[in-house]
Structure 1
Amino acid sequence: MKIVVIGAGSVGMLLASFLAERFQVTVLVRRKEQEEAIRKHGIHRINLDGTITRLPVNVSTKYEDIRSDSFVIVAVKYTHLKEVLPRLEKLPEDIPLLFVQNGLAHFDEVLKLPQKTIGFGSCQFGAQKENDHTVNHRGIGVLKLAVERGKTGDFQWFSKVESASFPVQFVDDAEKMLFEKALYNCFINPLTAVLQIKNGELLTNRHAYILLKALYEECMEAFPERRETVSFEDVVSLCKKTASNSSSMLQDRLLNRKTEVESIVGAVIKKAEKNGKSLPILKTLYHLVLALEGEKT
């Protein structure tokens, strides 16, 4: 099995590091500097116990290096996905594709691609990029997989890499999976980005906790059918498990990068409005994040 991971941010590098323990992995990157770093060092994964695992991987900047017998994982953020989709259109139709972006906005766009087998992933683990070749595994969490189109069998090899540190779960409904992950992101990401606090402080800061609880109740009023599968206890548990983590949206803010607020929060707001519901707290956080980004009117 030849695996290509497009994108070497925190998620791409962590996935590549675990997959490289069993398979031949090629990482496709945009920058020459990162290509040189990974070619020289491989990928270094800082494990939960502080040890470092060094994994040799291939690296390239050329889509032409993707072979017809590859399995392709697209791990770029949604903000870069539009640059990647035209390249994917030119790949052979028989190459299976897996997309692991946050949010909902990419779902319909991806399904316009010609490939016969397309799946989606929801990453529940914690990961933080330290440098161009090092990723910090910040928390154990399941990688959920759902095949939306094509052969489920093309994804079964993931069971060979599953471990206590890298759990994998197959689910039936990709869109439902992505929406539920987007809800968790909506509870944690914009609040931590605006308040500039780590996930655990949403529980220990009294005012942040009040906002978190109010935000949860607002979203459950808009999507009452999700209350059974997304409980507030689950949200609290996630904050505890990732207490020392900085959310991806906070990391983007601190590094002055464009966040995924549109594809995550904006998509959930649109879904609620389509159903005749309003989300005033979430909408306020959405505009605050955009204001912090300095978006021009």
Structure 2
Amino acid sequence: MKIAIIGGGSLGLLFSYYLGFQNEVCIYTRTKEQADEITKNGLHLIKDGIALQPLKIAAAGIQDWRGKEQVTIVAVKQYQLSGLMEELKANVEDSILFLQNGYSHIEMISEIQAQNIFVGSVEHGAVRVNAYTVQHNGSGVTRTAVFRGESHLLRELAKNAPADFPVLLEPDYNEMLIKKLVVNAVINPLTSVLQVRNGELVDNPFYFEIFKQLFLECALVLGLDQEEVYLQNLITVCKKTEYNHSSMYKDMENGRPTEIDAILGYLLELSKNKKMKAPLIHNYYHCIKGKEQEREGG
């Protein structure tokens, strides 16, 4: 398949590396400098402390993307998406897959006139080491679903993904994204504020009490029917990634903006629209926003 990947962060590098062995992939980065580094050095991946075989891959600045590939994968952070919307609307022709956290991007992507629009939920852990190197910290799956259009290209993408980087097709995009939203809404802010790895949220009985209460508040705001199913999924994710730091923790640590607005910000807005009190969502949202402001010097 011909695949465009937009974004030179951890997910963009990770997807480019794994999909690049069996497909014709071009990664489009925010800066031409990063694209030049990838062209010069190839893509490097570190897994389980071992540097794997580098991969030579096409790379270009985002300004060179024209949407001619069969599938374009948008792997930027949720807060970066709005800055790309005009280019996405103008150029994408065939199919586009969005890999953002949260739920607030759904309204944005509905404005795009692409033939097929897909959304995804990534369960891998990854950290960008430098412009052309990514560290794969935790293997998982990529769940995808049709937002609008037909699924045949998603099926082809799944077929062309390597066995150790599976792409799955889910029947309901809403259920898939809500399940991921719950995971992000509990694990990300708690690990960031408490400064702990994911596993400590369930291993430490005092943190686990906060964990359960924040989950119950999220479930109430979202109107979840099968609370126990979502809670067990949340605990499973924590245990599977017990030694990992969450993406929000790493963003805070490295001085990057977080996706708190797309995650707890979305839930906070939803609670206001439903005229529901959500004190934990409110407090943890403002804790993260306060940390971001403090880091920016007030």
Equivalent position of 2:252 in the other structure: 253
TM-score for the superposition, normalised by structure 2: 0.92
CA distance in 1, matches of 2:274, 2:140: 31
CA 1:119–1:197: 2 relative to 1, 3 Å: same
Pairwise mapping of residues 283-294 of structure 1 onto structure 2 (< 5 A)? 283-294=282-293
**Secondary structure in 1 aligned to 2:230?**
coil
Equivalent position of 2:21 in the other structure: 21
Q: Is the 8 A contact 1:127 1:136 kept in 2?
A: yes
Equivalenced residues, count? 295
CA shift, 1:99, in A, is: 0.5
Q: Is the 8 A contact 1:4 1:66 kept in 2?
A: no
**Secondary structure in 2 aligned to 1:129?**
strand
Equivalent position of 1:44 in the other structure: 44
Equivalent position of 2:80 in the other structure: 80
CA shift, 1:190, in A, is: 0.4
Q: Is the 8 A contact 1:74 1:98 kept in 2?
A: yes
Q: Is the 8 A contact 1:190 1:249 kept in 2?
A: yes
CA shift, 1:48, in A, is: 3.5
> Cα RMSD between the aligned structures?
2.0
C-alpha distance after superposition, 1:189-221 (max 9, x if no partner): 001111122112212334322211221222233
Equivalent position of 1:161 in the other structure: 160
Amino acid aligned to 1:80 = Q
Q: Is the 8 A contact 2:5 2:73 kept in 1?
A: yes
CA distance in 2, matches of 1:28, 1:67: 11
C-alpha distance after superposition, 1:104-154 (max 9, x if no partner): 111011110121211101101111111111111111212111111112112
Equivalent position of 1:264 in the other structure: 263
% identical equivalent positions: 33
TM-score for the superposition, normalised by structure 1: 0.92
Q: Is the 8 A contact 1:107 1:175 kept in 2?
A: no
CA distance in 2, matches of 1:99, 1:62: 16
In structure 1, stretches of 5+ residues that fail to align are none
CA distance in 1, matches of 2:161, 2:49: 19
CA distance in 2, matches of 1:219, 1:109: 23
CA shift, 1:51, in A, is: 4.3
Amino acid aligned to 1:84 = L
